[in-house]
Amino acid sequence: MNKVLILIAALAMSSTALAQQNSREDMWEFNLVLGNMDGDTVTGENGSSIETDSSTIYGLAMAYNFNSHWSLGGEFMWGSPDYDAIIVPDNGFGVPEVIRHEMSTFSYSFKGTFNLIDGPLTPYAELGFGWTELDSNVISQPPITGCWWDPWWGYICDTYVNTFSKTRETLSGAIGIRWDLDNGMTLKGSYGLNQINTSRALNKAEMDFYRLDVGWRF
């Protein structure tokens, strides 16, 4: 009987030590992100529309863990989805133009996360708010060339190209699994939804995403 009690006590002490070693409380974490964003179709006025393909997304994220359950942070994500856009002439006449091109997207957001379990392996849920810059990579006006004297490089001339782009508010939500390793690393896998406010379009852009985070606690 005494041996059983000693074994139970030893297991309890080792579990407590492991939980303390993997504790997230009062720690920062930095994450590298790799994922996939599904495409969507957004319908505009007078028959215009844009359809995006799924694409690989990359990102950098940082957060502060107030305790083992709650954290707050920010992230920067980017991707290059292909798209088909139907452009309708503004006078109502003529044949609609179809543009097939590659878009550049850049997202900046703040996120709050709740970890369900006070331990190294836990499900979690998060909500985010931020902005997404959508660059069509379609030239909006003729290129502009300018020249200037640089104190380091000397006389420089460069050409600037303006493109059609917009920045819109973005909401996001996700659920996932988090695993804090003994060596200070963190692995996270999640599934979520991004919703981009598309202003005058008839529907908002909603894209499912899957992502893997590899992080370090410090």
The answer for residues whose C-beta is within 8 angstroms of residue 20's C-beta and 6 or more apart is: none
What pLDDT, on a 0 to 100 scale, did the predictor assign at position 12? 41
The CATH code of domain 2-217 reads 2.40.160.20
The residue whose two tokens read 């060596």 is 183
CA distance 123 to 174: 11
pLDDT higher for 150 or 74?
74
What pLDDT, on a 0 to 100 scale, did the predictor assign at position 71? 98
- Each residue of 139-192: pLDDT tens digit? 988 888 989 998 998 999 998 889 989 999 999 999 999 999 999 999 999 999
Domain boundaries, the chain: 2-217
CA distance 200 to 43: 10
CA distance 36 to 53: 11
User: Poorest-confidence range of 59-63, 69-73, 92-96, 204-208?
Assistant: 92-96
What pLDDT, on a 0 to 100 scale, did the predictor assign at position 135? 95
pTM for the complete prediction?
0.82
Per-residue pLDDT band at 90 (split at 50, 70, 90): confident
The residue whose two tokens read 């505009």 is 44
What pLDDT, on a 0 to 100 scale, did the predictor assign at position 140? 86
- Paired with 209 in beta bridges are 37, 192
CA distance 210 to 177: 12
Per-residue pLDDT band at 97 (split at 50, 70, 90): confident
Alpha carbon dihedral 113, 117, 123, 125, in 10-degree steps, equals: -20
Q: Would the CA dihedral through 77, 82, 84, 88 be positive or negative?
A: positive
**Residue 47 and residue 88 in contact, taking contact as beta carbons nearer than 8 Å:** yes
User: How close are the terminal C-alpha atoms of the chain, in Å?
Assistant: 43
